[in-house]
Structure 1
Amino acid sequence: MSKIQSELGNSSAIHRNKRKYKEYLWAYAFIASPIIGFLLFAFIPISYSVYVSFTKYSGYQAPVVTGTANYERLLTDDPLFWKTLFNTFYSALSVPIGMAAALAIAIALNQRIRGILFFRVMFFLPTISSVVALTLLWKWIFNSDYGLLNYFLGLLGIIGPAWLSSEQWAMPAMIIQGVWAGLGFNMVLYLAALQGVPQSLYEAAEIDGANGWQRFLRITIPGISPTTLFILITSIIATMQDFPRFQIMTEGGPNYSTTTIVYYLFQNAFRYMEMGYASAMAWIIGILLMLITLLNFWLSRRWVHYD
Structure 2
Amino acid sequence: MTAVHPRPASAGGPGQRARRARSALRTLGFLSPWLIGFCVFFAYPLVSTVYFSFMRYDGFAPPTWVGLKNWTYVFADYPFFWPALRNTLWLVVVMVALRVVFGLGVGLLITKIKTGAGLFRTLFYLPYLAPPVAATVAFVFLLNPGTGPVNTLLARAGLPEPGWFNDPAWSKPSLTLLALWCIGDLMVIFMAALLDVPKEQYEAAELDGAGPWQRFRHVTLPNISPIVLFAAVTGVIATMQYYTEPLVAAKVASGVIGGSGQQFEPGYPDRSTLTVPQTVYNLGFQRFDTGAASVVALVLFALAMVFTALLMRRRSGFMPAED
Structure-2 residue corresponding to 1:233 = 233
Q: State the match for 1:276 in structure 2.
A: 291
Q: Structure 1: how far apart are the matches of 2:193 and 2:320?
A: 13
Deviation at 1:38, TM superposition (A): 5.8
Q: Any conservation in 2 of the 1:135–1:245 contact (CA below 8 Å)?
A: yes
1:288 is aligned to 2:303 = yes
Residue in structure 1 matched with residue 116 of structure 2 by the alignment: 115
Query: In the alignment, what sits opposite 1:266?
Result: 281
Deviation at 1:289, TM superposition (A): 0.8
Equivalents in 2 of 1:229, 1:186: separation in Å?
Answer: 12
Tell me what 2:63 maps to: 63
**CA displacement 1:28-84 (0-9 Å, x = unmatched):** 6x9877766665555433332221111111122221111122123333444532221
AA aligned to 1:121 is: T
Q: Which residue of 2 aligns with 1:75?
A: 75
Q: Which has more helix, going by share of residues?
A: 1
CA shift, 1:129, in A, is: 2.4
Aligned to 2:145: 144
Q: Cα 1:42–1:77, aligned 2, differ >3 Å: closer, same or farther?
A: same
User: How far apart, CA to CA, are the structure 2 residues paired with 1:173 and 1:64?
Assistant: 43
**Cα distance, 1:190 vs structure 2:** 0.9
1:91 partner SS: helix
Note the 1:1-307 alignment, pairs <5 A.
39-40=39-40, 42-78=42-78, 80-92=80-92, 93-111=94-112, 113-181=114-182, 183-251=183-251, 252-300=267-315, 303-305=318-320
Residues 299 and 70 of structure 1, relative CA distance in 2, 3 Å threshold: farther
**Contact map agreement 2:310 2:316 (CA 8 A) in 1:** no
SS, match of residue 112 in structure 2: coil
How far is 1:158 from its partner? 2.7
C-alpha distance in 2 between matches for 1:266 and 1:205: 53
The percent of aligned pairs where both chains have the same amino acid is 32
- Asked if structure 2 preserves the Cα contact closer than 8 Å seen for 1:246 and 1:263, the reply is no
Deviations 1:88-122 (A, max 9, x none): 11222111112111111111111252321121122
CA distance in 2, matches of 1:64, 1:208: 72
Between the aligned partners of 1:249 and 1:303, the Cα distance in structure 2 is 33
1:90 maps to amino acid = W
Aligned residues between the structures: 283
Measured in 1, the distance between the counterparts of 2:148 and 2:45 equals 43
8 Å CA contact 2:314, 2:320 repeated in 1: no
Note the C-alpha offset of 1:234: 0.7
CA 290–41 in structure 1, closer or farther in 2 if over 3 Å, else same: closer
1:250 maps to amino acid: A
CA contact (8 A) 1:226 1:306 kept: no
Deviations 1:161-212 (A, max 9, x none): 322122222222112112222x111111111111111111110111111111
CA distance in 2, matches of 1:44, 1:158: 55
How far, CA to CA, are the matches of 2:64 and 2:302 in structure 1? Answer: 24
User: Which secondary structure state, in structure 2, belongs to the residue aligned with residue 113 of structure 1?
Assistant: coil
Which consecutive unaligned segments of at least 5 residues does structure 1 have? 1-23
Gaps in structure 2 of 5+ consecutive residues: 1-25, 252-266
Q: 1:82 to 1:37 in 2, by over 3 A?
A: same
Q: What SS does structure 1 have at the residue aligned with 2:80?
A: helix
What are the Cα deviations for residues 114-152 of structure 1, in whole angstroms up to 9, with x where unaligned? 321121122112222211111111111121222121122
- TM-score normalised by length of structure 2: 0.79
Q: CA RMSD in A?
A: 2.6
Aligned partners of 1:77, 1:67: CA distance in 2, in Å? Answer: 16
Q: 1:216 to 1:34 in 2, by over 3 A?
A: closer
Aligned to 1:14: none
Aligned residue identity for 2:69? A
The alpha-carbon distance between structure 1 residues 143 and 188, as it changes in their structure 2 partners (threshold 3 A), is same
Q: Does the residue aligned with 1:110 lie in a helix, a strand or coil?
A: helix
CA distance in 1, matches of 2:307, 2:51: 25
